[in-house]
């Protein structure tokens, strides 16, 4: 997992290499939460961007993590964006209607 804060544009980007499944989502949860709530960073971003450049699959545990992240982002008054390269992952977000609450971007 890589984290980047663009404080000029107010964008916090978290990049996850690989799938977002039950075996990867739970170990990533504390690290991503920590990035969102890190002292001094929590109020400097307005857009949280989750990049999934290599993901070929997002399962129910991964979706649960995304929904919990969305709640944190909204509580902080921000917006969320997901960038993914795989068409099947993109369709998963469309099928679950997360595209109605989260901006989807193709990589």
- Which tens digits make up the pLDDT trace of 19-53? 999 999 999 999 999 888 875 665 688 999 999 99
- Which tens digits make up the pLDDT trace of 62-80? 999 999 999 999 998 999 9
Kind plus residue range of the DSSP H or E element containing 25: helix 22-37
Q: How far apart are CA 78 and CA 21, in angstroms?
A: 25
Hey, is 73 helix, strand or coil?
helix
Q: What angle do CA 6, 9, 14 make, to 5 degrees?
A: 40
List the chain domain ranges.
Answer: 2-106
Dihedral angle of Cα 62, 67, 72, 77, to the nearest 10 degrees: 130
Predicted TM-score of the model (pTM): 0.93
In the chain, how long is the greatest CA-to-CA distance?
36
Look up the CATH superfamily of 2-106: STAS domain (3.30.750.24)
pLDDT of residue 57: 96
């Amino acid at each position: 997992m890589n984290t980047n804060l663009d404080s000029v544009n107010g964008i916090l980007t978290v990049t996850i290499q690989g799938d977002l499944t039950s075996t990867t989502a739970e170990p990533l949860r504390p690290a991503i939460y920590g990035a969102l709530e890190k002292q001094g960073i929590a109020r400097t971003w307005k857009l949280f961007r989750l990049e999934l450049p290599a993901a070929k699959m997002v399962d129910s545990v991964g979706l649960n993590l995304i929904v919990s992240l969305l709640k944190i982002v909204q509580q902080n008054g921000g917006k969320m964006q997901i960038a993914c390269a795989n068409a099947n992952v993109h369709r998963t977000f469309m099928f679950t209607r997360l595209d109605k609450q989260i901006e989807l971007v193709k990589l």
